[in-house]
Amino acid sequence: MATVNLITLTEPRSSAAEAYRTLRTNLMFANVERPVNTLLVTAPTDTPDKSIALANLAVTFAQAGNDTILVDSNLRQPVQHELWGLPNERGLTTLMTEDASLASPPLQTTAIPHLSVLTSGPGPNIPADVLSSPRINDVIGLLKARAHFVLFDSPPVLTYTDASLLSAKLDGVLMIARAGSTRRDHLQRAQQALERVHAHLLGVVLTNAPRNTVGN
């Protein structure tokens, strides 16, 4: 397995790593009456920061002793298998198409205790049809039964319908915005798209911000 180059692992005492731990804590206690056990991480438009942020966040959940599953539900341009140095012959699409896989999900362990990855699996012809299938509810329930937290990577909201389809089925959505790159009107349009499907938008995380900048 390749060594994952994530700030939470390479520089665990850095301010950036601490910011991810703070984000983890905020998500865990965001709403006691409506706990967030399944989370979608997305962005208005395509940015590599989204998947890297999710991987770092998954590390912090696992480091706190929580059984955590990171799911690559970006069936168009999956990258989590590359970030973690994992094969991608089987994954989420396997669970969606093979009945036998439900009894033994193709989860892959990582070097991080408590953290498993479900890669995307073989790319389908029409990803939106896969994610809108009723079977996705069974898959989500299966994963929830195996972990305290299940974190989903998805395509950008404004580019494809995938994020909207999946977000309505999960406890919450976290939007990633890159400082100096993500446009405010794109954020607003993405928020509106999620609101139309009654997704629970928990907030926006700003990446690539100057060190002396503090934002919400």
What tens digit of pLDDT does each residue of 30-76 get? 766 778 999 999 999 988 889 999 999 999 999 999 999 999 999 99
Whether 119 is in a domain gets the answer yes
DSSP string over the chain = -PPP--HHHH-TTSHHHHHHHHHHHHHHTS-SSS---EEEEE-SS--HHHHHHHHHHHHHHHHTT--EEEEE---SS--HHHHHT---SSSHHHHHH-GGGGTS---EE-SSTTEEEE---SPPS-HHHHHTSTHHHHHHHHHHTT-SEEEEE---TTT-SHHHHHHTTSSEEEEEEETTTS-HHHHHHHHHHHHHTT--EEEEEEES--TT----
CATH code, domain with 43? 3.40.50.300
Average pLDDT over residues 173-180: 90
What tens digit of pLDDT does each residue of 29-38 get? 876 677 899 9
The pLDDT value given to residue 213:
46
Whether 38 is in a domain gets the answer yes
Whether 198 is in a domain gets the answer yes
204 against 119, higher pLDDT: 119
Domain membership of residue 145 as a residue range? 7-207
Tally of structural domains, the chain: 1
Whether 212 is in a domain gets the answer no
Whether 112 is in a domain gets the answer yes
Whether 166 is in a domain gets the answer yes
What tens digit of pLDDT does each residue of 142-167 get? 999 999 999 999 999 999 999 999 99
